[in-house]
């Protein structure tokens, strides 16, 4: 197949698309639990090109359904959330969290047919402060919830953040599996002679052209980027892509680095990043030899106030309209290599600058892009195989994710890369060791 068809199948996520139908087989992180208040305002959610409404009923149960009332298609966003249901303000029809019509007050009792009417609702589950939704066809018997390690951490042990990006899900995700850009976009201004021994970025600053091993994994793809840092020792940075849109990045010591990101497609041209990070991980913004922090590493970007629009949540102030707040003077003086002061905003600027959906025909991928090429192909082939009747990988075997871990470490150069990874996985801290069981952490939202 040609580049155009491959790109189309990879990037489009709406109903009936190759990738969209594949993604609908998995549980999707939809919103924070705190965004939905019992009998509070409904929340607009755009997921996989579908306009949905989330709400929490009087009993605390969560519903996520198509925003259109099945009567005359007026938006249920305008509805009244009361007495264990969402009531359409047009004619008063009321729906519970499972989409059942429970009241039809504008119809005479003798003509009432509410038992025949349902809103298009999806199965939901609430775990550790996150509401998950299953948008696939098996609403009565959905697959197990993901066991990505970071999502198993209890609320007191994890920080969760959201950030919306104005581009396709795959080009946003690819920044997490492209380790060579870190030494330029994020720390190109870092002087290797100013980096103290043992600094988290010591080796990245000293060698900005790592070599790679890449392979398919049961959960998706994995890479090991390596540098020779001293005689007989190799510095490794491992990262993963996990079906259908999760990543683990190498920004942390391998043994303690319990973290993950979801790149949830809102539609073809917008994506919501959800980031789980174990609390207490070592900071990467460690002072340099001169006592100064690294430029460009401000802890948080500026966010716009959330509004009620379909794309109204977790948007940052820097965007194309203000050149992502690019500071040319910081660039000229080499205080910040790219002139943008926040690592996530730096990634956001370059990926949004590619356009809403990258034209892959313009690209010239190189050796440092092996993981990107492998991941595109792995995701595309899995989605097409599902279309053709094969099962979605890992859907019914979530425990395969127990060996998915990312991070950096040094090890004897004689150790094979896959053996090195396996050794470090065996010695790593585990979410289960923190006293969490999946059964205890998962509560049906309805």
Is 19 inside a domain boundary?
no
Same domain assignment for residues 172 and 64: no
Whether residue 60 is found in the same domain as residue 177 = no
Q: Which residues pair with 43 in a beta bridge?
A: 54
- Specify the CATH number for the domain of residue 74: 2.102.10.10
Question: Could you tell me if 324 and 381 lie in one domain?
Answer: yes
- Please report whether residue 323 resides in a domain: yes
Q: Which helix or strand (DSSP H or E) is residue 40 part of?
A: none
Question: What's the confidence (pLDDT) of residue 436?
Answer: 44
Q: Is the peptide bond before 244 cis (omega within 30 degrees of 0)?
A: yes
Are 53 and 180 within one domain? Answer: no
Q: Indicate whether 210 and 107 sit together in one domain.
A: no
Same domain, 235 and 95: no
Segments forming the whole domain that contains residue 38: 27-142
- Does one domain contain both 155 and 84? no
| Residue-level pLDDT at 230 | 85
Q: CB under 8 Å to 219, separation ≥6 — which residues?
A: 240, 242, 243, 393, 394, 400, 401, 404
pLDDT of residue 43: 98
Using a 10 angstrom Cβ sphere, with 0-12 exposed, 13-18 middle and 19 or more buried, the burial of residue 310 is: middle
Structure tokens at 385: 């195989």
Residue 1 has what pLDDT? 59
* Whether residue 318 is found in the same domain as residue 408: yes
Q: What is the DSSP string of 90-152?
A: TT--EE-TT-BEEE-TTS-GGG--GGG-B--EEEEEEETTEEEEE-SS-TTSPPPPP--GGGG
Which of 142, 165, 181 corresponds to the end of one domain? Answer: 142
| Residues 143-190: tens digit of each pLDDT | 999 999 999 999 999 999 999 999 999 999 999 999 888 889 888 888
Tell whether 6 is covered by a domain: no
pLDDT of residue 442: 44
Contacts of 245 (CB under 8 A, 6+ apart): 23, 169, 173, 262, 263, 264, 265
Helix (H/G/I), strand (E/B), else coil: 77? helix
Tell me, yes or no, whether 276 and 333 share the same domain: yes
Kind and range of the H or E element at 411? strand 407-412
Q: Which residue has the tokens 């969402």?
A: 86
Residue 20 forms part of a structural domain: no
- pLDDT of 299 reads 82
One domain, residues 237 and 261: yes
**How far is 125 from 342, CA to CA, in rounded Å?**
33
Q: Are 108 and 232 within one domain?
A: no
In tens digits, the chain (446 residues) has pLDDT values of: 589 999 999 999 999 999 999 999 999 999 999 999 999 999 999 999 999 999 999 999 999 999 999 999 999 999 999 999 999 999 999 999 999 999 999 999 999 999 999 999 999 999 999 999 999 999 999 999 999 999 999 999 999 999 999 999 999 999 999 988 888 988 888 888 888 877 777 777 777 788 999 999 999 999 999 988 888 999 999 999 999 999 999 989 999 999 999 999 999 999 999 999 999 887 766 778 787 777 788 888 999 999 999 999 999 999 999 999 999 999 999 999 999 999 999 999 999 999 999 999 999 999 999 999 999 999 999 999 999 999 999 999 999 998 999 999 999 999 999 999 999 999 998 875 544 444 334 444 55
155 in a domain, yes or no?
A: yes
Residue 383 domain-assigned? yes
Percent helix, strand and coil across the chain, each to the nearest 5 = 30, 25, 45
Helices of type H across 119-263: 169-174, 202-206
Helix (H, G, I), strand (E, B) or coil at 89: coil
* Residue that terminates a domain, selected from 88, 121, 142: 142
Total number of domains constituting the chain: 2
**Per the domain annotation, does 276 fall within a domain?**
yes
Element housing 6 (H / E): helix 3-11
Cα distances (Å, whole numbers) of residue 245 to 35, 379, 435: 22, 9, 27
Look at residues 142, 159, 191 and tell me which one is the last residue of a structural domain. 142
- Report yes or no on 347 lying in a domain: yes
Question: Does 250 lie in the same domain as 105?
Answer: no
The structure tokens 């605390």 sit at 60
Predicted local confidence at residue 207, as pLDDT: 77
Helix (H) or strand (E) holding 20: helix 18-23
Strand, helix or coil for residue 280: coil
For residue 180, the model assigns a pLDDT of 86
The confidence score (pLDDT) of residue 440 equals 37
């Amino acid at each position: 197949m040609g580049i155009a068809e491959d790109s189309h199948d990879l990037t489009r996520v709406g109903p009936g698309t190759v990738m969209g139908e594949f993604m609908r087989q998995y549980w999707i992180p939809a919103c924070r639990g705190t965004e939905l208040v019992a009998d509070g305002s409904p929340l607009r959610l755009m997921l996989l090109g579908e306009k949905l409404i989330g709400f929490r009923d009087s009993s605390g149960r969560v519903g996520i359904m198509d925003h259109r009332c099945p009567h005359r298609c007026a938006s249920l966003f305008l509805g009244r959330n009361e007495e264990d249901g969402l009531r359409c303000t047009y004619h008063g029809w009321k729906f519970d969290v499972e989409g059942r019509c429970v009241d039809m007050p504008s119809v005479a009792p003798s003509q009432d047919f509410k038992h025949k009417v349902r809103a298009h609702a999806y199965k939901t589950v609430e775990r550790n402060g996150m509401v998950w939704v299953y948008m696939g066809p098996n609403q009565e018997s959905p697959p197990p919830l993901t066991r990505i390690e970071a999502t198993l951490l209890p609320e007191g042990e994890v920080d969760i953040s959201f950030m919306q990006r104005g581009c396709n899900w795959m080009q946003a995700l690819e920044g997490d599996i492209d380790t060579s850009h870190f030494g330029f976009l994020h720390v190109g201004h870092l002087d290797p002679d100013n980096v103290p021994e043992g600094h988290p970025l010591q080796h990245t600053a000293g060698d900005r052209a790592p070599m790679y091993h890449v392979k398919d994994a049961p959960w998706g793809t994995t890479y090991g980027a390596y540098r020779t840092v001293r005689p007989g020792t190799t510095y490794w940075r491992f990262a993963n892509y996990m079906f259908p849109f999760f990543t683990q990045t190498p920004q942390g010591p391998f043994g303690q680095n319990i973290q993950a990101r979801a790149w949830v497609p809102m539609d073809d041209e917008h994506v919501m990043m959800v980031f789980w990070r174990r609390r207490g991980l070592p900071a990467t913004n460690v002072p340099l030899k001169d006592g100064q922090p690294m430029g460009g590493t401000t802890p948080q970007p500026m966010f716009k106030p959330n509004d009620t629009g379909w794309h109204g949540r977790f948007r940052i102030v820097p965007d194309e309209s203000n050149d992502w707040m690019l500071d040319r003077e910081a660039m000229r003086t080499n205080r910040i290599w790219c002139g943008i002061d926040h690592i996530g905003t730096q990634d956001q600027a370059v990926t949004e600058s590619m356009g809403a959906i990258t034209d892959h025909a313009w690209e010239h991928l190189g050796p440092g892009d092996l993981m990107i090429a492998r991941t595109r192909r792995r995701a595309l082939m899995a989605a097409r195989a599902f279309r053709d009747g094969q099962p979605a990988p890992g859907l019914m075997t979530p425990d395969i994710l127990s060996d998915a871990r990312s991070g950096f470490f040094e090890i004897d150069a004689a150790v094979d890369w896959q053996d090195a990874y396996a050794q470090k996985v065996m010695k790593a801290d585990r979410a289960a060791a923190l006293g969490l069981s999946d059964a205890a952490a998962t509560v049906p939202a309805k």
